[in-house]
Structure 1
């Protein structure tokens, strides 16, 4: 067996042992409420969590986030943050709980983008592949191949997470721009209406002062007579 064939066989044997489970959610958390989500996770697994508040319902972009293990113990906790990224290694097998708490908000509904990536590596059986003797395994340094693949996989996961974060931040910025546009438009319309009303009152008052039959003119004359 040549070295190229051996490398390919070792590479795909290692890749088969990689298991990745990924979920993405976009949820609305009502004011004064808490929503929790459950995921069954085995022990010795790496869990990457990322969340971003992409819309605050004309309010602050923040949420309280907590992660619980199967026994109800708090593993992670963020208080009133716009987003964060966490990585943890599970020690127990069971249902893990992920909660978003918006009870501190009285009126604003929060829209949250949430992503969870669960990874596990099966044992890599270098040296037990049929047709490969110990000398060939030693020559190609199977451990080096495993380290390279680990780095490639880690970099790819980081790129994917970064792309998701950028996408959620872009959605948040778009919502902020739309909210600011609504505020500016509403304030401008109110200003225009106030200016029209005040201008109309001023015109009416001035005309009434020079009209002998108007009530304003009579009141003005009476005030002058008292002086």
Structure 2
């Protein structure tokens, strides 16, 4: 009896849980682009029905830089709309089938271009009906079926946590890119002002030498 249950458990993992995790795997999309001053850029992403969408964006570079953002569904409905924000996180639990429009607006800024980073995490729904049908065919013991279902639920929770960890890692990479961009800008400023100060010091030194020489002319 124990051997039969163990074989059923292994068969369940091999045939049902592994394909389920692969079908429920999330599609990660990350993109960095430059949004010119006074312009608007839109991106389109095709989604299936009842997908779960996690969207996050951030302006990289100098502080106090912001953009406006709008997400429009295939039916023309405005899902999210942000006014002049530097970063935001949005979650859509159930999507419509079709192309979603993601628009970033920098038309209010006539002088500053913006470097933006955004990431999309798309999760497909699980096929619960097929899972239950397979469990009913392989396992006849009600207690074992409950244990297998509990094990599957735990794997699903673990999978979601792993995906969330990947999103956090992407955000940490974004912060690193932002810090690097700030360091590059500060390095250019420090170098420029240091060179300018050195030129001024040398100019003043030469001027003082010339003035002293003019006060003591050679006889």
- Please, what TM-score do these two structures have when normalized by structure 2? 0.82
- Distance between the aligned counterparts of 1:116 and 1:160, measured in 2? 11
1:21 aligns to what? 27
- Higher mean alpha-carbon deviation, 94-103 vs 118-127, is at 118-127
- Which whole-Å CA distance do the structure 1 matches of 2:119 and 2:19 have between them? 28
3-state SS of paired residue (1:121): coil
Which region of structure 1 is more displaced relative to structure 2, 8-17 or 23-32?
8-17
Q: Cα 1:147–1:194, aligned 2, differ >3 Å: closer, same or farther?
A: same
| Cα deviation, residue 21, structure 1 | 2.5
Unaligned runs of 5+ in 2: none
Q: Which runs of no fewer than 5 residues in structure 1 stay unpaired?
A: 214-227
Match of 2:73 in 1: 69
**1:12-161, aligned counterparts within 5 Å?**
12-55=18-61, 60-124=64-128, 125-129=130-134, 131-135=137-141, 137-141=142-146, 142-161=148-167
Shift of 1:132: 1.9
In structure 2, relative to structure 1, the CA distance for the partners of 1:203 and 1:72 (3 Å cut) is farther
Quote the RMSD (CA, aligned, Å): 2.6
- Pairing 1:182–2:185 present: no
Give, in whole Å, the separation in 2 of the partners of 1:49 and 1:203.
65
TM-aligned CA deviation for residue 96 of structure 1: 0.9
Question: Which range moves more in the overlay, 8-17 or 184-193?
Answer: 8-17
Cα distance in 2 between the residues matched to 1:27 and 1:144? 43
Between Structure 1 and Structure 2, which shows a larger proportion of helix residues? Answer: 2
Q: CA deviation at 1:79?
A: 3.3
Q: Report the TM-score, using the length of structure 1 for normalisation.
A: 0.79
Alignment match, 1:163: 169
The structure whose Rg is larger is: 1
Name the SS of the counterpart of 2:103 in structure 1: strand
How far apart, in 1, do the equivalents of 2:162 and 2:139 lie? Answer: 32
1-structure distance, mates of 2:110, 2:207? 40
How many Å apart are 1:157 and its aligned residue?
0.5
Paired residues, number: 210
Give the whole-Å Cα distance in 1 for the aligned partners of 2:56 and 2:185. Answer: 24
